Structure 1
Amino acid sequence: MAGLAVGLSLMQSRGGSSPDLSLLFDINGLAKDTPSWLDRAISFAGEYGILLAMVLLVLWCWWSVRRRGTAADSVASVAGIVWAPLAAGLALLVNVPIRGFVERPRPFVDHRGIEVLVAGKTDFSFVSDHATLAMALGAGLFVAHRKFGYAALGLALALGFCRVFMGVHYPTDVIGGFALGTAVTLLLAPLALALLTPLVSAAAASDRAKWLVRSKRAPAGPGDRPEPLGLPDPRTEGAGTGPGRNDLAA
């Protein structure tokens, strides 16, 4: 960590031509040529909008997996969906000591000419909380459902671009957030799913909570209902006339 802090400090020197600083000015410089309404739209998306969209995507994924696939598939997918926000919260907690140790100022503090689209940012810059949260949600959703996961990862990348465009983060702040969110989610996923899957299975077997895992309108499949025992149907066995019919009046 000490080496990382030194490296980031060197990147902040005005005399250097680091790729991090160059990319910051290239992306943030776009804000000077875009119309004000677009700047406001990107600022809202980078601060609140994309994260809100990712929350809605998680809910949409949960709603979808309840209505499709087998019961076992629903249990596995819902367990992964539950892990996604838990992983995001855990990644944010891991980031607290990292930010306090590195203590990297926001880019507009050390560099002039930064177009700052969101005022009031006084905390440290590395690692980006927004990037950490978004990528943790994206990686967690990818574990639960590939198609929804790809969409979430795309939103996370878009959020990272917005944070640099807004002038509140260096590109390496965003990359560090992506790495932290991915690492926490994927490295702890086996343990988390091992603990969450039995809980979700218990909910699926409960009359009160099974709707959280499996929709009543979901198509029946293997494991959804008990297999027939092969017993004769009393309504049809021996029906009709013939030598095999028992005549009660005889």
Structure 2
Amino acid sequence: MAGLTTGGPNLDVSLLYEINGAARHAPDWLDRTVVLAGEYGIPLTLVLLVLWCWHGARHQDESAAVESFAALVWAPLAAGLALLVNAPLRELVGRPRPFLQHEGLQVLDPAFRPGLGTRFAQPDFSFVSDHATLAMALGVGLFVASRRFGLIGIGLAFAEGVCRVYSGAHYPTDVIGGFALGTAVVLVLAPLAMALLTPVVRAVAGSPRLGRLVRAKGRTWPRPVGLAQPQTPPAGQRTHESDLAA
């Protein structure tokens, strides 16, 4: 706790200077790209990846589609829950931003530069990184729904962490802590979340209006045996049976 408050272990600070120091030799357009990617681009890409995975899941069979859709609902819920958990954690640890503790860092994020943003006067705490927490929670949540999409999401989460350190907004351990928090919330609570969400998703799938959220248009699933509707006999057979009854 004390090590985090005073700036972190030497290896943490060394990695910070090494990664952030690359900005000294990079062109301005690259610095701006990294900042935009870390602040908006990667989180937005992860959201689009969730939607893409949902689109593909709608073409699966019934059990797989219901399970995938429940996992995709859990992913953003878990990300939001992880951010809620992080709010008191940041206040408890109280670790200042790295540029307030160490000189010579390249502060690329305009929100933390003097005169360009309101956060510089009273910046929030550094540990744990909200961006890393959000990105990894979405990535691991995607992995629960689909390994292929999940691996892409986790890779994007790692890229998010590098962007935050490169921009001078976080220590490497801030990012690692965010990865751990996002992963823990998703996986530890996944059994309970899936148990609660799966029946809801199955009910939605059976709804005439909302069913397309879970299954693709024109795709039908076999009815359960107990709910099978009686078939209407051909017209000729109905007439013959009516005559016999008469």
Number of corresponding residues: 225
Gap regions ≥5 residues in structure 2: 113-122, 238-246
Following the alignment from structure 2 to structure 1, what is the Cα–Cα distance between the partners of residues 4 and 132?
18
Say whether the 8 Å CA contact 2:82–2:181 is kept in structure 1.
yes
1:91 aligns with 2:82: yes
The aligned counterpart of 2:155 is 154
Gap regions ≥5 residues in structure 1: 238-250
More helix by share: 2
CA-CA distance at 1:153 after TM superposition? 0.4
Following the alignment from structure 1 to structure 2, what is the Cα–Cα distance between the partners of residues 206 and 120?
46
1:78 aligns with 2:69: yes
The aligned counterpart of 1:138 is 139
Task: Show structure 1 runs of 4+ deviating over 6 A.
Answer: 226-229
TM-score by length of 2: 0.85
CA-CA distance at 1:216 after TM superposition? 2.1
Following the alignment from structure 1 to structure 2, what is the Cα–Cα distance between the partners of residues 63 and 168?
35
TM-score by length of 1: 0.84
Following the alignment from structure 1 to structure 2, what is the Cα–Cα distance between the partners of residues 159 and 33?
21
Structure label with greater radius of gyration: 1
The aligned counterpart of 1:26 is 18
Q: Give matches, 1:1-250, under 5 Å.
A: 5-12=1-8, 18-67=10-59, 69-121=60-112, 122-218=123-219, 224-225=222-223
Say whether the 8 Å CA contact 1:129–1:177 is kept in structure 2.
yes
**Matched-pair identity in %:** 59
Following the alignment from structure 1 to structure 2, what is the Cα–Cα distance between the partners of residues 114 and 133?
25
CA-CA distance at 1:234 after TM superposition? 5.3
Say whether the 8 Å CA contact 1:70–1:224 is kept in structure 2.
no
Following the alignment from structure 2 to structure 1, what is the Cα–Cα distance between the partners of residues 107 and 99?
7
The aligned counterpart of 1:242 is none
